[in-house]
């Protein structure tokens, strides 16, 4: 692993570490395509999704996602998509977001074509948390 003293983080990565340190919960999601006909068939449309406002743009969500992915690879953040319990309002903004609406419409339109396998839009709930290494890195920022 990279030595923390030589670690260079982007502005977004630093901001994400700060947000994680201040959050009680840090809900994230993954937009998945599923198939009713083939239950084992799953495709990830968008991973490490962090939406905070209904109108968050694809560009902003991808930027946040890239920061989360890199922080996870560096061992500073733990990402878990096996969350079985969450706060009552944690994912409301996701379901109301323009991006999720667009995703659902894309799947619905695609499912009208006979050759299209994916007919279900799934919002896989997850969470991100700082690791001990992430706490140490934050102290150095």
Structure confidence at residue 83 (pLDDT): 77
Q: Assign residue 60 a region: left if phi > 0, alpha if psi is -120 to 50, beta otherwise?
A: alpha
Structure confidence at residue 102 (pLDDT): 96
Structure confidence at residue 37 (pLDDT): 87
- CB 38: neighbour CB atoms within 10 A? 11
pTM exceeds cut of 0.95: no
**C-beta separation of 91 from 27 below 8 A:** yes
3-state per-residue secondary structure call for 38-102: CCCCEEEEEEEECCCCCCCCHHHHHHHHHHHHHHHHCCCEEEECCCCCCCCCCCHHHHHCHHHHH
Structure confidence at residue 17 (pLDDT): 97
Domain 8-136 has CATH 3.30.110: yes
- Domain ranges (residues) in the chain: 8-136
Structure confidence at residue 110 (pLDDT): 87
pLDDT along the chain (141 residues), means of 10: 79 97 95 92 96 97 98 97 80 96 94 87 95 93 81
């Amino acid at each position: 692993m990279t030595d923390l003293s030589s670690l260079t983080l982007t502005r977004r990565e630093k901001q994400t570490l700060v947000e994680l340190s201040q959050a009680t919960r840090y809900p994230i999601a993954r937009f998945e395509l599923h198939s009713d006909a083939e239950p084992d068939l799953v495709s990830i449309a968008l991973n490490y999704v962090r939406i905070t406002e209904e109108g968050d743009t694809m560009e902003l969500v991808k930027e946040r996602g890239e920061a989360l992915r890199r922080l996870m690879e560096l061992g500073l953040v733990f990402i878990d998509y096996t969350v079985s319990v969450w706060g009552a309002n944690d994912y409301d903004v996701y379901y109301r977001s323009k991006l999720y609406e667009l995703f659902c419409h894309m799947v619905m339109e695609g499912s009208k074509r006979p050759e299209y396998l994916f007919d279900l839009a799934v919002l896989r709930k997850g969470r991100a948390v700082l690791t001990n290494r992430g706490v140490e890195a934050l102290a150095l920022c």
